[in-house]
Structure 1
Amino acid sequence: MRIDIITVLPELLKSPFEASILKRAIDKGLVEVHFHNLRDYTDNKYRQVDDYQFGGGAGMVLMIAPIDKCISKLKGERSYDAVIYMTPDGETLDQKMANNLSLQKNIIILCGHYKGVDQRVRDAYVTKEISIGDYVLSGGELGAAVLCDTIIRLIPGVLGDETSALTDTFQDGLLAPPVYTRPADYDGMKVPDVLLTGNFGKIEQWREDKAHKRTEKLRPDLLE
């Protein structure tokens, strides 16, 4: 998979890809992540990428020209399965969406800033708009990092145990059950006996029951 991220603040985005699972995925050659500074696609000496909005109002808007030049350059080099715009009024990211995007070969992620991008960008170039929640960030960079993490960890070979992602919260429409590790008894706080039996049939049934109960208590909307 190749991910091209268009941003006015590439330095804000790079650190998550220089450690942990994301770095290992890149080092293994399982994913390529490239950052494109929108200011490199301007024609003015001040490298200006934003301007006042027509009709007045507070806040600046990212201009269409540099975005067009960047996307056109990338599309001239390869085909893309999706051009994603990170925006608070987009479709809310969920596990099903992450699963589907992890199967794509090449995607572009455009990070919004200020009051967003010229609407013509959304109309002409963007194929999918994604939000990571009902709140507003200073820019789309942190949202793009979250999106990349959810996608990349699902690519085969990224996680040490490929079955781990399949048992994550939301994969089966439920919250994950409680998990425990050693010691079995810590200051009187004990691990449930069933987990120590070695009876994997009973253990799986216990986990399924707990997952349903947690979901019913914390996220009953998922059971609807």
Structure 2
Amino acid sequence: MIEFSVITIFPRMFDAILNYGITKRAIQKKCIKINLWNPRNFSDYNNKKIDHKIYGGGPGMLMMFLPLFKTLKNKKKSKTSNLVIYLTPQGKKLNQSSVKYFNNQKHLIFICGRYEGIDERFIYAHVDEEWSVGDYVLTGGELPAMIFIDSITRTLPGVLNSPNSFIDESFYSGLLDCSHYTKPRKINNLSVPSVLLSGHHQNIKKWRLKNALENTRLKKPKLIIKKINKKNNNFLYI
């Protein structure tokens, strides 16, 4: 089981993953545990204040050191292997390979910044790693935290109904996924590829590999450079 803990001033945002879908089932199966820690509950400032103006001037507010520190001090498990992560555009970018890395962790603690971020001294003293979901700015770390939790959870044993489901998905093998179809067989003069209706499993497997390579070549060609090998070279159009 992986335990996720999130330091956030908006814990109700996480109702979306606590009460729905795969993450809800993973909690029920005890594959994961999610804790939500609000730093306002550990603030000694008036009105439970957790932010202040930035030294040196400039627009916006910054989350202060002490409320974050006291939250971590009171909640962090001393006898457990903890990995404290600050979610920021300046961090390493999440991809499928790094999802596998997180699978080996016991307790992930996500710091969700707001406003202009958090005091640099807290990052220096108490953050183990900085991570990002992309090269763009969001209003807070809550959505990235949910993305991390969802992407990690779905790869854990016992979470998905089919244990091989995530292995066939885009990026897991280094390629995009192949195209998929369901009923009806024909709609608006568009038909399902005949090979998928043939029942010939070997031909279907070859078609899916060829289609996955073609999807990758057209949509994310840089992945091909990393993945191409002698076995699948015959299916690649250059």
TM-score normalised according to structure 1 size: 0.95
The residue matched to 1:21 in structure 2 has which SS? helix
Structure-2 residue corresponding to 1:19: 20
Identify the residue that residue 208 of structure 1 maps to in structure 2: 209
- 1:77, distance to aligned residue in structure 2 (A): 4.6
User: Would the alpha carbon gap of residues 36 and 73 (structure 1) be closer, same or farther in structure 2, given more than 3 Å must change?
Assistant: same
Paired residues for 1:1-224 under 5 Å: 1-224=2-225
State the Cα distance separating 1:80 from its structure 2 match. 3.1
Provide the C-alpha distance between the structure 1 equivalents of 2:75 and 2:27, rounded to a whole number of angstroms.
20
* Partner-residue secondary structure (3-state), 1:181: coil
1:110-141, CA deviations, whole angstroms, 9 ceiling, x for partnerless residues?
10111111111111111111111111111111
Task: Kindly provide the amino acid, as one letter, of the partner of residue 38 in structure 2.
Answer: N
Task: Give the CA RMSD over aligned residues.
Answer: 1.3
Q: CA deviation at 1:96?
A: 0.9
Structure 1 contact 52–59 (Cα < 8 Å) conserved: yes
Distance in 2, Cα, partners of 1:81 & 1:11: 24
1: CA distance between counterparts of 2:16 and 2:224? 37
Contact 1:2 1:106 in 2 (8 A): yes
Give the number of aligned pairs.
224
Looking at structure 2, the residues matched to 188 and 12 of structure 1 have their Cα atoms a distance apart, in angstroms, of 43
**Unpaired segments ≥5 residues, structure 2:** 226-238
The answer to whether the 8 A contact 1:80-1:108 is kept is no
Moved more, 77-86 or 116-125: 77-86
Alpha-carbon shift at residue 49 of structure 1 (Å): 0.6
State the secondary structure of the residue aligned to 1:46: helix
Which whole-Å CA distance do the structure 1 matches of 2:16 and 2:196 have between them? 38
TM-aligned CA deviation for residue 103 of structure 1: 2.6
**Residues of 2 paired with 1:76 and 1:99: CA distance?**
23
Q: Which amino acid aligns with 1:56?
A: G
Secondary structure of 2:172's match? Answer: coil
CA distance in 2 between counterparts of 1:79 and 1:52 reads: 35
Partner AA of 2:86 in structure 1: Y
Contact 1:7 1:111 in 2 (8 A): yes
CA spacing shift, 1:219–1:76, aligned 2, 3 Å: closer
| Stretches of 4+ aligned residues off by more than 3 angstroms | none
User: Quick check: 2:80–2:106 contact (8 Å CA) kept in 1?
Assistant: no
Q: CA deviation at 1:102?
A: 2.2
Give the Cα separation in 2 of the matches to 1:205 and 1:126.
46
Percent of residue pairs identical: 36
Q: Per-residue CA shift, 1:165-216, capped at 9, x if unaligned?
A: 0111001111101001122223432111111122211111111111111111
Runs of at least 5 residues in structure 1 that lack an aligned partner in the other structure:
none
Q: Contact conserved, 1:40 with 1:47, CA < 8 A, in 2?
A: yes
Q: Per the alignment, in what secondary structure is the counterpart of residue 164 of structure 2? A: coil
